[in-house]
Amino acid sequence: MPQPTLPIFQKKPTVFISYAHEGDLSNQVQKLADWLGKYDVDVITDSLIKPPPEGWRIWMQRSIKQANITLMVCTERYKTLFDKDEISDAGGRGVTWEAGLISGELQESKLFNERFFPIVPDGGSSEHIPQILRDWAYDYWFPSNQERILDLVKDGYMDQVPNHSQPTLAAQLKGPSDNRLLPREIEIIGRDNEIEQVVAFLNGAQSSASVSGYVAGSGGIGKTELCKAALRKWLQDNPDETAYW
């Protein structure tokens, strides 16, 4: 059976992280930036030793424009500065400037947003997300759930470049530890039998499989998460096999 042709991707994604300086948050943000960098993500933060030659305002404007994704670390102080509420100290001018740039772009796009996403540090609160950003809040916590942030960065950037000479198919997985197979939540509970059914299909000679179920209430039934878990288990048992997602 011929191997699927891998898609052609653009250069690696660039992420800008916007945050308010307070307590140990700078170190937490730098750790997140370093971690994303291990997964081939270019990260821009204000961890420069000295002010940039062009000045901070131009640097921030250029960084937001250059980035494919801007992550906003939402804390109580960040929200206060973003909303231009009164604050006791004289700092925070950077967040105020960035907030104006981000709000302006959202207004111009009529709130169609694929670039600006709020994230929350562990121990924080989703109540600290500015109102204009809450439609794009989706449990992006760090460091406890930073794999979800990586998924956001990769999915939001890695659009396939058209290749008219050959079909574009799903990318090859790097094995059971591939980030694309990580569960969106910490783990999947109560679906062991269904996972085993999908694994049995993968080990068999059938040409298709069906996963179905019923869950009361709105939202999906977890078909994607179930299949990811099964594929991850199958690759653990079959490390020499090749899989595409």
Q: What is the pLDDT of residue 89?
A: 59
CATH homologous superfamily of domain 14-157?
A: Toll/interleukin-1 receptor homology (TIR) domain (3.40.50.10140)
What CA–CA distance (Å, rounded) separates 73 from 71?
6
pTM beyond 0.75: the answer is no
Cis peptide before 143 (omega within 30 of 0): yes
H, E, C per residue of 26-60 = HHHHHHHHHHHHCCCCEEECCCCCCCCCCCHHHHH
The structure tokens listed for 65 are 């424009």
Please name the amino acid found at residue 16. Answer: F
Over residues 158-180, the mean pLDDT reads: 53
Q: How confident is the model at residue 239 (pLDDT cuts 50, 70, 90)?
A: confident
Higher pLDDT pick, 26 / 4:
26
For 43-67, the pLDDT digits (tens) are 999 876 678 888 888 999 999 999 9
User: How far is residue 244's CA from residue 168's CA, in Å, rounded to a whole number?
Assistant: 12
| Residue ranges of domains in the chain | 14-157, 179-237
- For residues 59 and 18, the answer to whether their CB atoms sit within 8 Å is no
pLDDT for 21 equals 87
Specify the pairing of strand 42-44 against strand 141-142.
unpaired
